[in-house]
Structure 1
Amino acid sequence: MTKKILMVVTNADQLDKEHQTGLWLSEFVEPATELKEAGFEVVAASMEGGKIPIDPNSYSNELPRVWDGVMEPIHDTEKLSDLNPSDFVGIFFCGGHGSMVDFPNNETIQQILRHFISERKIIASVCHGPAAFVGVTDHNEKAFVKGRTMTGFTNEEEKQTGLEPLMPFLLEDQLKEEGADFIVHDAFTDHVEVDENLVTGQNHHSSLRTAQAMIKQLKDH
């Protein structure tokens, strides 16, 4: 039976009236491609289900042809609360600024993640995706990220986007506040951290290597 990976994406399509947002497309497509090629089945889910908004800055009119089939799951995602986490061997949280809107302190995400934490399954995330970890605690009420070596979208990267004033918080600051050992490399460089069953990538340039590191962890697990 093919092992399944749950890929979680945002439904949020606006930061304010002037700023559209959504999923950063390559942060789904590149990992999904790698996972499928490695023999895993990818299931895409979101808080509300349905078609996913794509950040307009994350794609051009010249999308690679190979992306067509891989994008299919985000045209009609499953509703996260309808899924049984026991059906999946790993979970991957994709980024895009929309993730900062509907991932943090989300009860559905917290419930799903508790399963992956307690079963020590592989948990991966890239860019703004680690916003999903904000407010998540284990069964002992300890912050999930406390003492974990990880990365994600940095303060410097957020400043360079010009969208910092629209964010509910800075991801780097918030994860550090919850106890993460948050590792920062130069802005917009490919950077991945692996801490046991937790795999994180700093920004969209890290999407491919985050997926590759996740696959290695899945095979070694």
Structure 2
Amino acid sequence: MPKILIVTTSHDQLGGTGRQTGLWLEELATPYYALLDSGADIIVASIKGGEVPFDARSIKADGNNPPPVQRFLSDDHAMACVRSTPSIDKVRASDYDAIFLPGGHAAMWDLPGNAALANALGQAFDEGRVVAAVCHGAAGLISAKRADGSPIVRDRRVSGFTDAEEEAEGLTEIVPFLLETRLRELGARFEKTSNFRPFAVQDGNLITGQNPMSSAKVAELVLQAVTSASDRPPAFATPTDARPMFITMRLSAKDADAFKRHLLSVIPVTRLAPGCRYSHSYQGTSTANALLLVQGWDSIEQQHAYVAWRTRRGDFVRFRALLDKDPEVESFTLFDA
């Protein structure tokens, strides 16, 4: 299971204008769910720690937001994460497979000058771990250097919020610097498309996107980069005489919400397993800690191979801890297709 560290801005003022700014929520919410739903383990940190300020312009009336933003605002766990983040200097960034920087104009003020972030990004880059940013999040790359002292963006294909987009926003005289111009000055090979169109580029372990509309493309590239062959279930051929099988497990968890979040990270990985037709979980309405896990497989042998793989990885240790007992199988049925 890949581990992703997301680092956001803690800034909330648009220069000396007196106007509020902060994180552009789409740039967090879209990658957050794309990665979470694909099995990643995610922590959200910020520059100063504490509550992450949202740019009010990135949140519309209820029901009018992009689906990931609406989902995030309605997700108690996600909202709790951004209300109480650890500061970047309290996080051991070396524990993560990727560091991702969402933007918002506020990122232009506090990401570039943060030494802990710069050190974490430089070390991750040199070690071949993924470094990613979208829109103004690329401002966090400005101060990041390799061990030899060279900028991590030098001679690399990168993107970010363009000078033309900044002009279209009317903020060229407000932001502390123009992101595209600064990245070019550092030796980056800056690439872009037309204003406010999705665009992302990958150069080795460096992944960047141009604007908020590029968030999904960046998340897709990050996921591909951190998901190695060892993170995927092993291939297992369907026996010639196999019959499809159906399994349900009725589970009682000591912490149903934590277990539900665990299943949401496990299920996308399960669906990658050869022979898995579907895998779903359902949480009871009358009994909050009752859950039902339903799976369909091409053969019992494939399901057993998958369970053995997860056991070797140690995944069931956490599974049992959340349940406070071993899982109980309710039905285990072979059936003809």
Offset at 1:96? 0.1
Offset at 1:93? 0.3
The Cα offsets for residues 90-134 of structure 1, whole Å up to 9 and x where unpaired, read as 010010000001011321111111220121101111000010011
Offset at 1:203? 0.1
Whether 2:41 is the aligned partner of 1:36: answer no
Match of 2:7 in 1: 8
Q: Is the 8 A contact 1:146 1:179 kept in 2?
A: yes
Of structures 1 and 2, the larger Rg is shown by 2
Offset at 1:75? 1.6
Amino acid at match of 2:11: A
Match of 1:92 in 2: 100
Match of 2:182, SS?
A: helix
The Cα offsets for residues 45-80 of structure 1, whole Å up to 9 and x where unpaired, read as 111101111101111122454222244321211111
Q: Determine which of 183, 189, 192 is the counterpart of 1:184.
A: 192
Match of 1:174, SS?
A: helix
| Structure 1: runs of 5+ lacking an equivalent | none
Amino acid at match of 1:14: Q
Q: Determine which of 52, 60, 66 is the counterpart of 2:71.
A: 66
Whether 2:79 is the aligned partner of 1:80: answer no
| Structure 2: runs of 5+ lacking an equivalent | 230-337
**After the TM superposition, which parts of structure 1 deviate over 4 Å for at least 4 consecutive aligned residues?**
none
TM-score normalised by the chain length of structure 2: 0.63
Amino acid at match of 1:126: V
Whether 2:150 is the aligned partner of 1:150: answer no
Q: Determine which of 160, 164, 175 is the counterpart of 2:172.
A: 164
Whether 2:217 is the aligned partner of 1:209: answer yes
Q: Is the 8 A contact 1:95 1:126 kept in 2?
A: yes
Match of 2:94, SS?
A: helix
The Cα offsets for residues 118-162 of structure 1, whole Å up to 9 and x where unpaired, read as 211011110000100112210001111100001000000000111
Q: Is the 8 A contact 1:118 1:138 kept in 2?
A: yes
Report the Cα distance in structure 1 between the residues aligned to 2:17 and 2:169, rounded to whole angstroms.
17
Report the Cα distance in structure 2 between the residues aligned to 1:76 and 1:158, rounded to whole angstroms.
31
Aligned length: 220
Q: Which moved more, 1:56-65 or 1:2-11?
A: 56-65
How large is the Cα RMSD of the aligned pairs?
1.3
Amino acid at match of 1:19: R
Report the Cα distance in structure 1 between the residues aligned to 2:126 and 2:79, rounded to whole angstroms.
31
Q: Is the 8 A contact 1:105 1:136 kept in 2?
A: no
Match of 1:207, SS?
A: helix
Report the Cα distance in structure 2 between the residues aligned to 1:150 and 1:220, rounded to whole angstroms.
23
Tell me: higher relative CO, structure 1 or 2? Use CA pairs within 8 A at least 6 residues apart.
Answer: 1
